[in-house]
Structure 1
């Protein structure tokens, strides 16, 4: 599906747990805020990401701006503690822990801190596809400005989290927060969402890639990226050989690779377009998203 959604600003960051440094609370303090006594890790990551994204622009989200927060695993640290208390210690859930786990307090916390009122506030989790799911939800109302984010935390100890995710014991893990602010009233956006499509098989993937490539063939350079090496190998078979590969820097493993790629491309302020594809390991469907830094008149 061809779309034309202006992106007013973008910001993202990830921190390796191997470094043993936790800068998140220091960043919140540097913004002029005191860390909330009852905030959890997901709230902190969302707060830092959303505020930093807005700080990249000279404006402020108006009332009615929607907020959709994606997370592959949600508020995992509190969930682990709650389950351990219930199963290992036979203790009932504490009220604040239960509320933190069962509601979208992270999204509310962000909207409240930004004084945004009158817009939808949604949280979505679809495993590795959580960021694209958040984008899809925002596209249901493209005429509305949206803050679209994804956050994933790493509960301590990291080794237990790697085992939880069925990753090798020595895997380098990272926490991440990535955000984009879409605004249909933005006159000169640094980027645009221009295409999104779910493909049931490789034939549909090829059709989607051909469609995007034909549309952009006069507007090089164009890059391509995929979630995994295996995904990229398949993507290469259906893309023009002239496309360059885009590989963002990484602090370690986290599930929101799509946000790392898309936000990283826009943050580098490169001129061009990017075709991103990832395959859901459960449904085997492909998700194709294209972004561009060209003006809308070129599409």
Structure 2
């Protein structure tokens, strides 16, 4: 069976302010409580997954898989632990030490959703969500993935000025946090969308060549460039840019997941999400979408 058959999607996006926004009200809206002694990254991971599963009419089976992509992982607890060790010469507390493991977020989310299948965390600075999709596509191709979740999550670390330096963005760049998830069911007869391909290309020239090889009716989605840049690329590729409602986003490494959910919600037909990473590589996600249900 080709592609990932998406039956639901959703998540949460927060704009970073001077202090972290409390997540408890967001959990309360879902009649849930955040896990005790968990990090903000763990809680944000679960919150986005809960929102996505709330949009799905059926519970996921116990053997369901989970793929978590992150650019920074649990950066706040890690930075705090290093600060305590090397500047204040304090030994870490047991909970703080355990929470620096970004794999814990996937484990806690799977436990909360009753999933006991494969659980994988993918972390890299550029195109982490695309890498998770590539792995899920491979697993689906060999029959290892039947149902499950694929998400991209990143949280902020305060103070924001230090976090901007860590992310290597401008001093006035708006920062954000996000947790967005796709629910896939390879047995679904009428999915909301199908993720057909995910790949990383070495540069803009390779991306242009790839786009030109695709059918003429494919629409391009380029959320992290200006409209003028998107139109110029589409013109060079001899394709049409996709028209989507505006989406206000702040910078975080796995915002690709939010952009894809937005495209799947509002587009019909075949589309290609294109994003250029800081390393110069281009992430390409090809999909077919049914638009609003």
The TM-score by the shorter chain falls in which range?
A: 0.7 to 0.9
- Give structure 1 stretches of 5+ with no counterpart: none
Structure-1-length-normalised TM-score: 0.86
Question: Match of 1:206?
Answer: 208
Counterpart CA distance in 1 for 2:229 and 2:196 is 21
Instruction: After TM superposition, give the deviation of residue 149 of structure 1 in Å.
Output: 0.8
In the TM superposition, what is the alpha-carbon distance from 1:69 to its structure 2 partner?
0.7
CA distance in 1, matches of 2:205, 2:157: 40
Deviation of the 1:18 alpha carbon = 2.9
Distance 1:62-1:76 versus aligned 2 partners, 3 A rule? same
1:241 CA displacement: 4.5
For the pair 1:242 / 2:240, whether they are aligned, the reply is yes
1:288 to 281, 284, 287: 284
Tell me if structure 2 keeps the 8 A contact 1:66–1:120: yes
Instruction: Name the counterpart of 2:134.
Output: 136
Give the corresponding residue for 1:273. 270
SS at the partner of 2:260? helix
CA–CA distance in structure 2, aligned partners of residues 32 and 212 of structure 1? 45
Cα distance in 2, alignment partners of residues 201 and 175 from structure 1: 27
Structure 2 vs 1, CA of residues 247 and 236 (structure 1 numbering), >3 Å: closer, same or farther? Answer: farther
Q: Deviations over 1:61-118 (max 9, x none)?
A: 112211111111000110011000011011222222221113511111111011112x
Question: Matched residue of 1:89: which SS?
Answer: coil
Structure 1 residues 154-169: aligned runs within 5 Å: 154-169=156-171
In structure 2, what is the equivalent of residue 89 of structure 1?
88
**Secondary structure class of the residue paired with 2:60:** coil
Question: Partner residue of 1:53?
Answer: 52
8 Å Cα contact 1:248/1:264 also seen in 2: no
Aligned to 2:121: 123
Gaps of 5+ in 2: none
**Residue aligning to 1:112:** 111
Do structure 1's residue 28 and structure 2's residue 27 form an aligned pair? yes
**1:186 CA drift (Å):** 1.4
Count of paired positions: 286
Distance in 1 (alpha carbons) for counterparts of 2:242 and 2:102: 42
Is 2:189 the partner of 1:187? yes
Q: Check the 8 A contact 1:262/1:291 in 2, yes or no.
A: no
The structure-2 alpha-carbon separation of the partners of 1:35 and 1:281, relative to structure 1 and needing over 3 Å to count, comes to: closer
The answer as to 2:17 corresponding to 1:18 is yes
Once residues 175 and 292 of structure 1 are traced to their aligned partners in structure 2, the CA distance between those partners, rounded to angstroms, is 27
Does the 8 Å CA contact 1:209/1:239 hold for their aligned counterparts?
Answer: yes
Residues 235 and 277 in structure 1, CA contact (< 8 A), matched pair in contact too: no
Distance 1:288 1:168 in 2: 25
Is the counterpart of residue 152 in structure 1 residue 154 in structure 2? yes
